[in-house]
Amino acid sequence: MSSTTELFGSLVFNDVVMKERLPKDTFAKLQNTIKNGQRLEIDVAAVVANAMKDWAIEKGATHFTHWFQPMTGITAEKHDSFISPTKEGKVIMEFSGKELIQGEPDASSFPSGGLRSTFEARGYTAWDPTSYAFIKDGTLCIPTAFCSYGGEALDKKTPLLRSMEAINRQALRVLRLFGNEDVTSVRTTVGPEQEYFLIDKEVYEKRKDLIYTGRTLFGAKPPKGQELEDHYFGSIKPRVNAYMKDLDEALWKLGILAKTKHNEVAPAQHELAPIFTTTNIAADHNQLTMEMMQKVAKKHGMVCLLHEKPFEGINGSGKHNNWSISTNTGVNLLEPGDTPKENAQFLIFLCAIIKAVDEYQDLLRISVASAGNDHRLGANEAPPAIVSVFLGAELTGILESIENDTEYDAKKKEHLKIGVQVLPRFFRDTTDRNRTSPFAFTGNKFEFRMLGSSISISDANVVLNTAVAEELRQFADILCEADDFNSALNDLIKKTIKDHKRIIFNGNGYDDAWVAEAEKRGLLNLKTTPDCMPYMISPKNIELFTSHKVFSEAEIHSRYEISLENYVKILNIEALTMLEMAKRDILPAVSAFSKELSETASLKKAVSPKINCSYEEELLVRLSDAAASMFEKVKALDDALAATKDIGDALELAVYYKETVIGAMNGLRSAADELETMTAKNFWPYPSYGDILFSIK
């Protein structure tokens, strides 16, 4: 078996491979494009394409595809072979620079939110040279952006790249004011932690709800859940460990920096965390990670669930977006240093982020909005829907001292006293961590904890990059015009702290008192997708995106429409699935069990009228009453869905689903779950929660 170092990146057309296979001048020009954003000429692309093709064929590839990320939330690919016919009736293996640079999938078949009419089918994929090509399943995959015939972005990658350019421009302006002339580019970096569930494939295939929706729509609480807290960081089961080993190798071959793996809190729940990399590449890698998780699971007879809340009553799954800013010279701009109060450059970037989160808290909430994530936010496993910033005691104290012109009593790091002589001594961090915070500073980065496990990280990072770019732009404008830079800088930091300290909260985000306190501070509490989506098209937010050329106004409205449509479609599929399961499986199963109870009681009485049939008779009455109640809930959900046909407006329809359809779904679930607790296991048509959660031995 190859060593890890040989395995890593073996299926990636990375810098090492390019340096070996490209002429020096071609390699230099390509690197200039990758690192400095210079346009790549077609003649250079042709040389790269030929080398890429030769390398891919040597690795066993027969096809190539432009790999892109439409607004479906998953990736897309159309495969073409390398073969081209010859006059002699043979074929040769070709791949041109034009084929590398541009593809043409059907744009009408992907969500566009009104940007494109159905008959307007032409769309383009454009090679993104900043993200390496790779081989997957014998196909050369070329990461690309996806746009319409008119140039509108129809994907997740294009706005992300635009937002990265925006924060690069404005960060460079600020750094120049601090005399950093050697810095030529600034990049945001991300390390997205990914949570997921693993269940047995045989159990999965017996649950229509898991198959159709990715989550369980019915399921009574099992005797054991996560109460004992014995799964978190527990010993990994051999079957899961074998899966994780194969997953690591699959990811390493693709150059994905999979680093950490462990059991999460809920039974059958796990987590994978990568090392930081540039945001665009991190987004590509996270999409690949989710795909590989599901693909490798099948090889082990398991299914990987990425839904935010696949099981009621236990933790759901999130995706923690660890975000930072670094220069091409290797400086992390969110590194406080030993004396953060004296580190003015760190403080100005910190203030820009605090101001951005405060002013664009609505957009941050929108960036994580989905029908699935609505189940998770505010529960035990996730931060509340109220956006706030955790800085910890030290940084908060520093900012307060700056605002009030007082001395800050810097605490030196102390040795942690454990009370056991043989254990080595180590320093205690100056600040604890806060797992209830949506946006927490964790030493030299911010951890945005609100993302759902199944969504692309691109949306959240587009908002973060653009919002911080806007604040840096404002700061640069003020400081450029100042007569006294140091005095203006001090005043700017102090004013920003004073104006935006309401967003800083270091306490328990799960506490009900925080909800009341946040309301007093004027912070938003947007609990659901329909609650937050109208903010997306507010003048303030349209101005933000259009001024930095991240979205056009038409692109913003298209994403607004797509988000609402997706929310409604998901809930509609879930409601229809519930009705099918209830009508065709659950109610007939309860009737069959009731019939057996009745026949058993009759047989007993036939033997002797004195035999006690209270078990059968009393349970039969309870079952009949509960089944009748469930049938009423079925009719209520049917009626709720029927009424949706008369609602044309996207937001109005989404609100109706939130306020009426979800309520009807919850009522039906409650009735069915009660019946599950009374029905004999051999009659109940689906594996129970206990069967599913503890299916991996």
Total domains present in the chain: 3
What's the CATH code of the domain at 58?
3.10.20.70
* Residue 425 pLDDT: 52
* Residue 410 pLDDT: 64
Kindly state whether residue 416 falls inside one of the protein's structural domains. Answer: no
Residue for token pair 């939330």: 73
Which tens digits make up the pLDDT trace of 70-106?
888 889 888 889 877 766 666 566 788 888 888 877 7
Domain co-membership, 226 together with 268: yes
Residues of the chain with pLDDT under 50: 1, 416, 418, 423, 426-428
Which tens digits make up the pLDDT trace of 157-176?
999 999 999 999 999 999 99
* Residue 429 pLDDT: 53
* Residue 418 pLDDT: 43
Kindly state whether residue 419 falls inside one of the protein's structural domains. Answer: no
Domain co-membership, 292 together with 436: yes
Residue 282 and residue 549: Cα distance in Å, rounded? Answer: 22
* Residue 426 pLDDT: 43
List CB contacts of 32: < 8 A, sequence separation 6 or more.
38
Kindly state whether residue 420 falls inside one of the protein's structural domains. Answer: no
What's the CATH code of the domain at 657?
1.20.120.1560
* 245: enclosing H helix or E strand: helix 238-253
Domain co-membership, 194 together with 265: yes
What's the CATH code of the domain at 504?
3.30.590.10
Domain that holds residue 448: 163-410+426-551
* Residue 301 pLDDT: 97
CA dihedral 225, 229, 232, 238 (to 10 degrees): -60
* Residue 311 pLDDT: 96
- Among candidate residues 129, 155, 181, the one where a domain is terminated: 155
* Residue 114 pLDDT: 74
* Residue 103 pLDDT: 84
- Among candidate residues 155, 171, 203, the one where a domain is terminated: 155
- Among candidate residues 501, 522, 551, the one where a domain is terminated: 551
Domain co-membership, 308 together with 396: yes
Q: How many helices (H) and strands (E) does the chain have?
A: 25, 17
Quick one: 134 exposed, middle or buried, by C-beta within 10 A (0-12, 13-18, 19+)?
buried
pTM: 0.93
